[in-house]
Amino acid sequence: MDVLTHIKEEHDEFRELMKKIESSKSAKKKELFRELYAKLHGHHEAEEKVVFPMVLEEVKAEDKEVVREMIEEHSLGQYQFKVLEKTDVEDETWDAKFMVLKEVLEHHMEEEEKEFITLAKKVIPKEKREELLEKFESVLEKKKKEKEKELK
């Protein structure tokens, strides 16, 4: 499968998981939140290590900004994940903090699908995109496991 198609499919998984978190409570909510945290950490790391560098190298100077913006949005999400992890899930501000994370991530995924993927498709040949999937998944798994350990 094309790594870019795979990225889109994972985004849909994250959207579902965020909905589940919103409708859960207490320990279950925390558990699902940590699942999202670890998976998204792996997803972002895999994008940054496997897909973004190639696109950055191939696109014209003015299009590099799209990729840089993706990376900055990952940092923004990461910041809010840390804040939520430090906050008790029963705290009255948890849901508001999560809503902000959700908005950041939804905006990011939409922009990544509309702008970044469109750009990446133009500069990475189809065979290469298929070849990248394995590497993407191995980085994702490794980084996800590291985060899971850290969150225990």
| Distance (Å, whole) CA 63 – CA 94 | 37
Residue closer to Fe ion (CB basis): 21 or 140: 140
At a CB cut-off of 8 Å and minimum separation 6, what does 147 contact? 37, 38, 41, 42
Q: How far is the CB of 71 from Fe ion (least distance, A)?
A: 8
Q: How far is the CB of 112 from Fe ion (least distance, A)?
A: 5
Count residues binding Fe ion (CB under 5 A).
2
* C-alpha R_g of the chain: 16
Residue closer to Fe ion (CB basis): 89 or 140: 140
| Distance (Å, whole) CA 29 – CA 3 | 30
Q: Which of residues 8-47 bind Fe ion (CB under 5 A)?
A: 47
Instruction: Report the b/e string of 74-106 with b at 16+ CB within 10 A.
Output: beebbebbeebeeeebeeeebeebbeebbebbe
Residue closer to Fe ion (CB basis): 30 or 44: 44
Residue closer to Fe ion (CB basis): 2 or 47: 47
Q: How far is the CB of 55 from Fe ion (least distance, A)?
A: 12
Q: Which of residues 106-125 bind Fe ion (CB under 5 A)?
A: 112
Binding site for Fe ion (CB under 5 A): 47, 112
